[in-house]
Amino acid sequence: MGIGWVLSSCFLGVRRERELIRSFERRADLGLKTIKVFRAVMTFFQRQRGGSKAMVSAKRGLGFFVALTFFLGLVTLVVLPTPYLIERPGPTFDVLGEVDGEPVIQINNQQSFESEGQLDVLTVSIVGRPERTPSWIEIGFAWLDANQKVVPVEALYPPDRTSEEIRAESSAMMEVSQQDAIAAALRYLDYETPREIYIAQVTADSPSSGKLVAADFVISVDGQRLTSIEQLRSIVGAWDEKASVEVTVSRKGIEITEEVTPVKDAEGNYRLGLLVGYKYDFPVDIELQLGEVGGPSGGMMFALGIIDRLTPGDITGGLHVAGTGTIQQSGVVGPIGGVVLKLHGAKAAGATVFLAPAGNCPEIAGNEPDGLRVVKIEKLSDAVSALEKLSKNQDLASLPNCTK
């Protein structure tokens, strides 16, 4: 998808650690109070033994205890935080349409063409955040709902990252994804797309923090001139731990060389703490905007929308098509997270066809909503070919799916 991950190793943030401690203290305090109430009620029963009046008092005390227990249980379900968040289908956006009155795809220096169909980008909404997680009641309902997914907080918000850092990273990934989508679409249409490697984000407290900055163009690493992000990953991944890595960048036209010592991430891979992507010199002026949506999963649909806009006719054939998948400049489509939720989101939005990355097929098989036909996609040309066949009313059964 044209994105280079070079992240720092994981250390538990002080702020997150304090939040966990406060959470445990609150729960422990409530537990102690419940035990004290229980002991008080039991003492009351023991003192009230004997005589009919005592029995009446005991029954009243028992009723009071049951009511109190129910109340405390209700408070626990409603008030106490949980270690979980909820994922559910989010809004859908037609890349051939508009968002907030502005076209999602704006082509400025080339003739463009209108379409009758829809190409929907799908999103996943997250209920809650680390500082305010859903209640146990909300979690319970979500567990029972096939259209929602309960996930641990740490799965979406690693303890060594702040919410602000994650949001910034998601925005940077969207920016990189859009650049790669434009490049993939133009390459498919036989345009030349020269590129450079640039830094989209420097992770806070990483080895590169204070040395490299966002918008630097990466020229070489340890004297090896870079031509791809994959080459950068390979050089850093093979670090021998004997000396720092020399990273040469261009910053506002001036070459700067910094020594950076890689660290291991959670998977044991050496990283510099950078999110990198490609900056292209496009022959066509194309602007993409999707509001506050982040992440790289809309890449394939952006690329399809650009191809449709720059091509006479309507490759959708007037159909309502949804899809997801990352995109590389080469046109390779990659898997994404939350694909089953996106299937349900596509169905709810009225789509009849879903273009799915081949890498997500193991999750999709057996989970397709009724009335939504899934087409397996490995590269951008597969998606264009599928749309062309659908626009000519060819049978969906002839297209590859996630079961064959």
Task: Give residue limits of the domains in the chain.
Answer: 14-79, 88-126+173-191+287-404
Tell me, what's the pLDDT at 10? 28
Tell me, what's the pLDDT at 115? 86
Tell me, what's the pLDDT at 266? 74
pTM of the model: 0.74
8-state DSSP, 166: H
Tell me, what's the pLDDT at 5? 32
**88-126+173-191+287-404: CATH, from 3.30.750, 3.30.230, 3.90.1200, 3.40.190:** 3.30.230
d(CA 190, CA 314): 19
Residues 133 and 84 sit within 8 Å (Cβ to Cβ): yes
Which whole-number Å values give the CA distances from 71 to 76, 139, 219, in the listed order? 9, 19, 64
d(CA 130, CA 81): 10
Tell me, what's the pLDDT at 74? 56
Low-confidence ranges of the chain (pLDDT < 70): 1-79, 394-395, 404
